[in-house]
Structure 1
Amino acid sequence: MSMPEMPKWYDDDGQIVSCTEKVKVMTENMTELYQTAQDAFEDALLMGCGERQLRDYLLALIEGLENPYRKV
């Protein structure tokens, strides 16, 4: 499997994020995140960790991200 195709990015109001520079930064960040996660996944597999546990942990890691900009 390879990195999924980049989506069109939308804000919370459903408006498309169309700024070229913002889209470029998102693409770079998501590509870097994918590669880092892939490398960590492969390293763990080579060290004998179970694939299911790795996938579950990576999902939990993403679910645990906090939004410091949440509107209160």
Structure 2
Amino acid sequence: MQLEFPVWHDSEGNVLACVEKIKVMRENLEELQQMAQDAFEDALLMGCDEQQIRDFLVTMMRQLDNPYQS
């Protein structure tokens, strides 16, 4: 599966233009995608319900904590 990455913006709507930041973001997200895919496949092989594991992965992402909130 090939992800299409968006143009990244900061919280004020400005485009992130730093090539190095965008590169790191892309690498991190590609790594996360592969880890999630592996976990998903493992769950299916163990007999987990497909929709349940999908729902859990979505819930997990929604519950990520922002330690930089002011």
Q: Same fold (TM over 0.5)?
A: yes
Which amino acid in structure 2 is aligned with residue 12 of structure 1?
Answer: S
> 1:36, 1:51 → 2: CA distance?
16
> 1:27, 1:20 → 2: CA distance?
10
Runs of 4+ residues deviating >3 angstroms: none
Which amino acid in structure 1 is aligned with residue 54 of structure 2?
Answer: R
Structure 1 residue 59, shift from structure 2 partner = 0.5
**Structure 1 unaligned regions, length at least 5:** none
> 1:28, 1:7 → 2: CA distance?
14
Give the aligned partner of residue 8 of structure 1.
7
**Structure 2 unaligned regions, length at least 5:** none
| 3-state SS of 2:30 partner | helix
- 1:25-54 CA distances to partner (integer Å, 9 max, x unpaired)? 000000000000000000000010000100
> 1:42, 1:3 → 2: CA distance?
17
Give the aligned partner of residue 40 of structure 2.
41
* TM-score between the two structures when normalised by the length of structure 2: 0.96
Give the aligned partner of residue 19 of structure 1.
18
Over the aligned positions, Cα root-mean-square deviation in angstroms equals 0.7
